[in-house]
Amino acid sequence: MLQQASSNTLTVRDDVVYIDENNNVLSNEEKESRNEDLMYAKWLVNEQNELVMVQLQSRENALKWLSDRPVIKDNSQIDCNQLDMLLERIYRRDQENRSSQAILPKVDSLNLVAIEAVIDKCGMPTIENSGEMGPSAVWLVIQHASADKRKKYFPMLLEASKKGDLDRQDIALMQDRMLMDAGKPQLYGSQVTVNESGEYMLYDLRDPETVDQRRAVMNLMPLKEYLHFFEIEFNVPQK
Protein backbone atom coordinates (compact mmCIF):
# COMPACT_ATOMS: atom_id res chain seq x y z
CA MET A 1 0.00 0.00 0.00
CA LEU A 2 1.37 3.40 -1.00
CA GLN A 3 1.15 6.52 1.13
CA GLN A 4 2.16 10.16 0.89
CA ALA A 5 5.79 10.73 1.93
CA SER A 6 5.84 12.26 5.42
CA SER A 7 9.27 11.58 6.92
CA ASN A 8 12.39 13.69 6.43
CA THR A 9 14.34 11.00 4.54
CA LEU A 10 13.41 8.47 1.88
CA THR A 11 15.07 6.14 -0.63
CA VAL A 12 14.55 6.84 -4.34
CA ARG A 13 14.15 3.68 -6.44
CA ASP A 14 15.39 3.41 -10.02
CA ASP A 15 11.95 2.42 -11.32
CA VAL A 16 9.89 5.37 -10.05
CA VAL A 17 6.62 5.68 -11.98
CA TYR A 18 5.17 9.09 -12.91
CA ILE A 19 1.40 9.49 -13.28
CA ASP A 20 -1.01 12.37 -13.93
CA GLU A 21 -4.03 13.53 -11.91
CA ASN A 22 -6.15 10.77 -13.46
CA ASN A 23 -3.62 8.03 -12.58
CA ASN A 24 -2.44 7.64 -16.19
CA VAL A 25 1.21 6.59 -16.50
CA LEU A 26 3.28 9.30 -18.20
CA SER A 27 5.89 8.67 -20.86
CA ASN A 28 9.30 10.34 -20.55
CA GLU A 29 8.21 12.96 -23.08
CA GLU A 30 5.00 13.69 -21.18
CA LYS A 31 6.89 13.88 -17.90
CA GLU A 32 9.43 16.33 -19.32
CA SER A 33 6.66 18.52 -20.72
CA ARG A 34 5.30 18.90 -17.18
CA ASN A 35 8.56 19.64 -15.37
CA GLU A 36 7.02 22.76 -13.81
CA ASP A 37 4.46 20.58 -12.02
CA LEU A 38 7.13 18.53 -10.24
CA MET A 39 7.21 20.93 -7.29
CA TYR A 40 3.48 20.31 -6.72
CA ALA A 41 3.68 16.53 -7.05
CA LYS A 42 2.54 13.92 -4.54
CA TRP A 43 5.49 11.73 -3.57
CA LEU A 44 4.22 8.22 -2.85
CA VAL A 45 6.27 5.73 -0.85
CA ASN A 46 5.94 2.07 0.14
CA GLU A 47 6.19 0.59 3.64
CA GLN A 48 10.00 0.69 3.40
CA ASN A 49 9.83 4.46 2.81
CA GLU A 50 11.04 4.00 -0.77
CA LEU A 51 9.81 6.48 -3.37
CA VAL A 52 7.97 4.40 -5.96
CA MET A 53 5.48 6.78 -7.58
CA VAL A 54 5.15 10.51 -8.30
CA GLN A 55 1.76 11.97 -9.15
CA LEU A 56 2.04 15.28 -10.99
CA GLN A 57 -0.61 17.92 -10.47
CA SER A 58 -1.15 21.59 -11.27
CA ARG A 59 -0.44 24.33 -8.74
CA GLU A 60 -4.14 25.05 -8.27
CA ASN A 61 -4.97 21.41 -7.56
CA ALA A 62 -1.96 21.09 -5.29
CA LEU A 63 -3.00 24.02 -3.12
CA LYS A 64 -6.55 22.70 -2.77
CA TRP A 65 -5.14 19.32 -1.77
CA LEU A 66 -2.67 20.84 0.69
CA SER A 67 -5.36 22.91 2.40
CA ASP A 68 -7.06 19.74 3.63
CA ARG A 69 -4.01 17.85 4.90
CA PRO A 70 -1.64 18.44 7.82
CA VAL A 71 2.07 18.75 7.05
CA ILE A 72 2.97 16.35 9.86
CA LYS A 73 0.63 13.45 10.60
CA ASP A 74 2.51 12.22 13.66
CA ASN A 75 4.82 14.46 15.70
CA SER A 76 6.83 11.41 16.75
CA GLN A 77 8.14 11.31 13.16
CA ILE A 78 9.96 14.63 13.60
CA ASP A 79 13.72 13.98 13.59
CA CYS A 80 15.45 17.01 15.09
CA ASN A 81 18.71 16.07 13.37
CA GLN A 82 17.14 15.84 9.90
CA LEU A 83 14.74 18.72 9.46
CA ASP A 84 15.87 19.86 6.02
CA MET A 85 13.31 18.06 3.83
CA LEU A 86 10.42 18.84 6.16
CA LEU A 87 11.21 22.55 6.43
CA GLU A 88 11.95 22.87 2.73
CA ARG A 89 8.50 21.41 2.04
CA ILE A 90 6.90 23.94 4.40
CA TYR A 91 8.89 26.76 2.78
CA ARG A 92 7.64 25.80 -0.67
CA ARG A 93 4.05 25.42 0.58
CA ASP A 94 4.19 28.96 1.94
CA GLN A 95 5.64 30.44 -1.24
CA GLU A 96 3.25 28.61 -3.55
CA ASN A 97 0.34 29.82 -1.45
CA ARG A 98 1.63 33.40 -1.73
CA SER A 99 1.97 33.12 -5.51
CA SER A 100 -1.58 31.85 -6.06
CA GLN A 101 -4.40 34.17 -7.10
CA ALA A 102 -6.15 33.66 -3.77
CA ILE A 103 -4.10 32.91 -0.66
CA LEU A 104 -5.62 29.99 1.26
CA PRO A 105 -5.61 30.73 5.02
CA LYS A 106 -5.94 27.00 5.76
CA VAL A 107 -2.52 26.33 4.17
CA ASP A 108 -0.95 29.03 6.37
CA SER A 109 -2.69 27.57 9.41
CA LEU A 110 -1.45 24.03 8.73
CA ASN A 111 2.07 25.32 8.08
CA LEU A 112 2.01 27.08 11.45
CA VAL A 113 0.86 23.93 13.25
CA ALA A 114 3.82 22.07 11.74
CA ILE A 115 6.34 24.81 12.56
CA GLU A 116 5.15 25.02 16.17
CA ALA A 117 5.42 21.23 16.47
CA VAL A 118 9.04 21.43 15.27
CA ILE A 119 9.83 24.28 17.67
CA ASP A 120 8.18 22.50 20.61
CA LYS A 121 10.20 19.35 19.99
CA CYS A 122 13.50 20.67 18.63
CA GLY A 123 13.71 24.35 19.44
CA MET A 124 14.60 26.88 16.76
CA PRO A 125 16.03 25.03 13.73
CA THR A 126 19.55 25.95 12.68
CA ILE A 127 21.37 25.89 9.35
CA GLU A 128 23.38 22.98 10.75
CA ASN A 129 20.40 20.70 11.39
CA SER A 130 18.00 21.95 8.71
CA GLY A 131 20.01 23.50 5.87
CA GLU A 132 19.97 27.06 4.55
CA MET A 133 16.22 26.99 3.92
CA GLY A 134 15.23 25.66 7.36
CA PRO A 135 15.41 28.80 9.52
CA SER A 136 13.94 30.82 6.64
CA ALA A 137 10.92 28.50 6.54
CA VAL A 138 10.29 29.16 10.24
CA TRP A 139 10.59 32.91 9.71
CA LEU A 140 8.26 32.90 6.69
CA VAL A 141 5.49 30.98 8.41
CA ILE A 142 5.63 33.15 11.53
CA GLN A 143 5.80 36.35 9.46
CA HIS A 144 2.59 35.25 7.74
CA ALA A 145 0.88 34.22 10.99
CA SER A 146 -1.04 36.38 13.47
CA ALA A 147 0.31 39.39 15.36
CA ASP A 148 0.33 37.34 18.58
CA LYS A 149 2.50 34.64 16.98
CA ARG A 150 4.98 37.21 15.65
CA LYS A 151 5.24 38.76 19.11
CA LYS A 152 5.67 35.35 20.75
CA TYR A 153 8.43 34.06 18.49
CA PHE A 154 10.30 37.27 17.64
CA PRO A 155 12.86 36.90 20.48
CA MET A 156 13.70 33.39 19.25
CA LEU A 157 14.12 34.61 15.67
CA LEU A 158 16.23 37.56 16.80
CA GLU A 159 18.55 35.18 18.62
CA ALA A 160 18.78 33.01 15.50
CA SER A 161 19.83 36.08 13.54
CA LYS A 162 22.58 36.85 16.06
CA LYS A 163 23.88 33.30 15.58
CA GLY A 164 23.92 33.69 11.79
CA ASP A 165 20.97 31.39 11.05
CA LEU A 166 18.78 34.23 9.77
CA ASP A 167 19.67 37.36 7.82
CA ARG A 168 19.21 40.67 9.59
CA GLN A 169 16.84 41.81 6.85
CA ASP A 170 14.38 39.14 8.01
CA ILE A 171 14.44 40.69 11.46
CA ALA A 172 13.91 44.16 10.00
CA LEU A 173 10.86 43.03 8.05
CA MET A 174 9.31 41.40 11.09
CA GLN A 175 10.04 44.43 13.29
CA ASP A 176 8.27 46.67 10.79
CA ARG A 177 5.35 44.25 10.62
CA MET A 178 5.06 44.20 14.41
CA LEU A 179 5.16 48.00 14.59
CA MET A 180 2.38 48.14 12.01
CA ASP A 181 0.46 45.55 14.09
CA ALA A 182 0.70 47.99 17.01
CA GLY A 183 -0.32 51.01 14.92
CA LYS A 184 3.14 52.58 15.22
CA PRO A 185 5.43 54.00 12.50
CA GLN A 186 7.82 51.47 11.00
CA LEU A 187 11.62 51.74 11.15
CA TYR A 188 12.86 50.35 7.84
CA GLY A 189 10.12 51.10 5.31
CA SER A 190 9.42 47.49 4.37
CA GLN A 191 5.65 47.66 4.88
CA VAL A 192 3.48 48.89 2.03
CA THR A 193 -0.30 49.26 2.04
CA VAL A 194 -2.94 49.73 -0.67
CA ASN A 195 -5.21 52.79 -0.76
CA GLU A 196 -8.85 52.96 -1.85
CA SER A 197 -7.76 53.48 -5.46
CA GLY A 198 -5.74 50.27 -5.43
CA GLU A 199 -2.40 52.12 -5.41
CA TYR A 200 0.52 51.10 -3.23
CA MET A 201 1.48 53.47 -0.42
CA LEU A 202 4.37 53.47 2.05
CA TYR A 203 3.10 52.79 5.57
CA ASP A 204 3.98 55.47 8.18
CA LEU A 205 7.76 55.74 8.59
CA ARG A 206 9.71 57.00 11.58
CA ASP A 207 12.52 59.52 10.90
CA PRO A 208 12.47 59.09 7.11
CA GLU A 209 15.58 61.25 6.65
CA THR A 210 17.76 58.55 8.27
CA VAL A 211 16.00 55.43 7.02
CA ASP A 212 18.80 54.38 4.66
CA GLN A 213 21.26 54.34 7.56
CA ARG A 214 19.00 51.94 9.42
CA ARG A 215 18.39 49.84 6.31
CA ALA A 216 22.11 49.50 5.58
CA VAL A 217 22.71 48.06 9.04
CA MET A 218 20.05 45.42 8.32
CA ASN A 219 21.46 44.48 4.87
CA LEU A 220 18.62 46.22 3.03
CA MET A 221 18.91 48.26 -0.19
CA PRO A 222 18.18 52.01 -0.13
CA LEU A 223 14.48 52.67 0.37
CA LYS A 224 14.10 54.58 -2.91
CA GLU A 225 15.27 51.48 -4.83
CA TYR A 226 13.00 49.16 -2.83
CA LEU A 227 9.92 51.31 -3.34
CA HIS A 228 10.59 51.51 -7.08
CA PHE A 229 9.23 47.94 -7.31
CA PHE A 230 5.89 49.25 -6.02
CA GLU A 231 5.97 52.39 -8.21
CA ILE A 232 6.14 54.53 -5.07
CA GLU A 233 8.15 57.76 -5.17
CA PHE A 234 10.45 58.40 -2.21
CA ASN A 235 12.50 61.59 -2.43
CA VAL A 236 13.34 62.41 1.19
CA PRO A 237 17.00 63.58 1.32
CA GLN A 238 19.07 61.24 3.47
CA LYS A 239 21.46 62.31 6.20
Give the pLDDT confidence score for residue 3 in this predicted structure. Answer: 53
Give the pLDDT confidence score for residue 157 in this predicted structure. Answer: 98
**Bridge partners for 55 per DSSP:** 19, 42
Give the pLDDT confidence score for residue 71 in this predicted structure. Answer: 81
Q: pLDDT tens string for the chain (239 positions)? A: 445 545 555 677 788 888 888 889 989 888 888 887 776 777 787 877 788 888 887 767 766 666 667 788 888 889 998 899 899 989 988 888 777 666 778 888 999 999 999 999 999 999 999 999 999 999 999 999 999 999 999 999 999 999 999 999 999 999 999 999 999 999 999 999 999 999 999 999 999 999 999 999 999 999 999 999 999 999 999 99
pTM of the model: 0.73
Running DSSP on this structure, what letter comes out for residue 145?
S
Give the pLDDT confidence score for residue 1 in this predicted structure. Answer: 47
Give the pLDDT confidence score for residue 12 in this predicted structure. Answer: 72
Give the pLDDT confidence score for residue 188 in this predicted structure. Answer: 98
Buried b / exposed e over 160-187, threshold 16 CB at 10 Å, is bbeeebbbebbbbbbbbbbbbeeeeebb
Q: How many CA atoms lie within 13 A of 14 on its CB side?
A: 0
Q: How far apart are CA 76 and CA 28, in angstroms?
A: 37
Give the pLDDT confidence score for residue 2 in this predicted structure. Answer: 47
The length of the chain in residues reads 239
| Residue 178, SS3 per DSSP | helix
Running DSSP on this structure, what letter comes out for residue 156?
H
Q: Quick one: which of 229, 187, 225, 223 has its CA closest to 204?
A: 187
| Residue 65, SS3 per DSSP | helix
Q: How far apart are CA 90 and CA 127, in angstroms?
A: 15
Asked whether the CA dihedral 110, 146, 134, 188 is positive or negative, the reply is: positive
